[in-house]
Structure 1
Amino acid sequence: MEKRTEVVDFILLGLTSAPELQVALFIMITLIYLINVVGNMGMILLILLDSRLHTPIHTPMYFFIGNLSLVDFCYSSTVTPKVMAGLLVGEKVISYNACAAQMFFFGAFGTVENYLLASMSYDRYAAVCKPLHYTTTMTTRVCTWLILGSYIVSFLNASIHTGGMFSLTFCKSNVVHHFFCDIPAVMVLSCSDRHVSELVLVSIVSFNIFFALLVILISYMFIFITILKIHSGAKHQKAISTCASHFTAVSIFYGTVIFMYLQPSSSHSMDTDKISSVFYTMIIPMLNPVVYSLRNREVKSAFLKVKSLFIC
C-alpha cells in the first residue's frame, strides 16, 4: 500500500501575496469589520432598548432584523479576524480542527442568513398584501418557529457538509488557495474520490438557495402586484424604493453564492473566488444594517432617542 502522510494543519494563502498591498488591505478590512460590528451590534441594541419597536405591528420585522444583524456579525467574525491576523503578522497556518470549525460556523450562519432573507420576504408580503391580518398572521409563535427552523436546518446542513468534507483524506498539499477554509478551496486538496462529496454539496446548496429564492420571488411578485394597485404616488414610490434596496442586497448575496458553489470545481478560478468571497464575508454583513434598517424611520427615531439618553 502507498504510504500517505495525513495533513495536520493548513496554510491559508490569504488575499494577496504582494507585501506592498498587505498594509492597505489590513486597514481597509479593519475599517469594514469595525463598521460591521458597530452597525450590527448597534442595530440589536436599538431594537432591544426602544419599546416602540416592540408593538405588534413592528415586532415581527424587527425580530427578523435583529436576528439578521446577529447572523451577519457571527458569520463575518468566523472569517475576518483570521484574515486581519494574516495581513498584520503573516499568520497563515490554521490547524485541522480550527479549519473544520471555521467551515462549520461559516456554513451554518451563511445558511441561516439565506433562510432569514426568505422569512423576511414573507413578513413583508404579509405586511403589504394583507395589512389587516398582519398581526394575526405574523404572530410571536410563527416568527419564533421561522427563526428556530432557520437555525436548525442551517446547523444540520453545516454538519453534513463539514462531516462529509473532513471524512475525506488529505494527503497532498496543505496549501489552501483562499483566505479562509471554504469548502471548494479545501475540497481540491483531498486525495480521496470527491465525486460524491461534490454531488452532495451542489445538491444541498442548490436546494437551500433555490428554495429561499422561490419564496422571495413569489412574495415579491405579490408585493409588486399590490404596489401597482396603490394610487398614492408617495406611497407607491416609497414601496418601490424599499423593494429595490432589498433586491440589491439579495442579488449580491445570492449572485456571489451561486457563482461560488454552483459551478464545477474544474472551472473554479481561486483569484476570482476570493473577490466574490470578500463580498459575502465582509461587504454584505457591513451593508445589511443600512439596506434593511438605517433607512427606516422607526430605526432613525430609536437611534436619536438612545443618543439623547447617552448625551444626557
Structure 2
Amino acid sequence: MSALAESAASVSAPAFVPATATIAIVTYNRSGLLTRLLESIERMDPKPGHVVIIDNASVDDTTEVVEGFRERLAPIELVYRRLETNTGGSGGFSEGMRVAYELGSEWIWLMDDDVEVIPDGLAKMGKWAPRFQSIQGRRYDYDGSEFYWQYRVSEPLGIPIPFAPAGFDESGYKPMNSGCFEGMFINRDVVRQIGLPDPRFFIYWDDQMYGWLASRKTQSVIVNEFVLRRTREIKQWDMGIRHMNASSNAYRYYIMRNRAHIKRYYRSLGVYNPVLFGLGTALTFGKELIRLAFVERTVRGTSNLFRGLRDGRKIAKDASWQPMPPLESAAG
C-alpha cells in the first residue's frame, strides 16, 4: 500500500468500536488454561461485544467453567459451542470464525486457550483498525520474554522465513504475508472475500495459509503492540537469537500431509512452482529431523513424517478437492 493510499484509507475508515469485535477461542481439555484466559478478558478495558468459545469435544469440566463466566463477563455476550468431535485447531477456528461472522462482528480476534490478553490489548489493536484489515499483534512468551513470530512466508517455497527482521521502525508496523491464529485480528470484509479457515488441515499450516490468502486481498501487517501472553510452557531448543519448540507425532504427521493442501491452494491460484515448492517440502522435512534430534533428543517419530507425505499424495491427486469458498452470498 502506498503512503498516499494508506493516508486516504486512514481518513475514510470509521473509528474502531470495541463492541463490534468478537474474541473467538478454541479450547480442548484445558479448562485451567481457559479459566486464565477468561479471567484476563474479564479484566479487559475496553471489552469486546462477544466472546465465542469453540469446545473441541472436551471431556473435562470445560462446560462448567464456561457457564461460570457468563455473569462475570457481562456485558460481554458469551457464545459457547461444544462440538461433537475433536475437529482440531483448524476445525475449531473455522467454526469460531463462522459463528463470529454470523453474529455480525466487524472484527474477529482469534486465539488459543493457552494465552491471556493484556488488559488494554483490544485498544492497542483497535488503534490500527482504521488503517488495516488484517493485523497481528505481538505476545510475550511464558517466561516473559518477547516472542518472535515468523511473519513472512517465502511464497515459492511455501514456508516461513525464520530470520525475517524482528525490529520495528518508527512506523510501528511491518508488512506480513502470513497469519497466526494465536492473535489474528481480522476484519469481516476480508473474511467475506476469502471464506472461512480450512478445517481440512486439522492442525498446522492452516493459519499461515489463511494469513497468506488475506494478504492477497489487503495489506496485512504485524504491529509493535504486545497484546497477548503465553500461559503454557513449551520445551524449547535455544538457538541464540531464535527458539525451536518441541512437537508431537500428530504435528509431525500433519506438517507433512498438509503440504498437499498448500500445494492445492497454490495451484488454484496459479502460483505453484513444483521445483521450488518441492524444495520447501524437503526443507520442512529436514527441519523436523533437527527438531527431533536437538529438541526432543530422539529419532523416534520419523515414521509420522513419511506417513504424512504418503497421505499428502492422495490429497494432491483428489479430483474433488476445492478451496474454501468466499462468503460473497453472506450479508456484508
Q: Who wins on radius of gyration, i.e. which is larger?
A: 1
Which is helix-richer, 1 or 2?
A: 1
Q: TM-score range by the shorter chain?
A: under 0.3
TM-score, normalization: structure 2?
0.26
The structure showing larger relative contact order (alpha-carbon pairs under 8 Å, at least 6 residues apart) is 1
TM-score, normalization: structure 1?
0.28
Which is strand-richer, 1 or 2?
A: 2
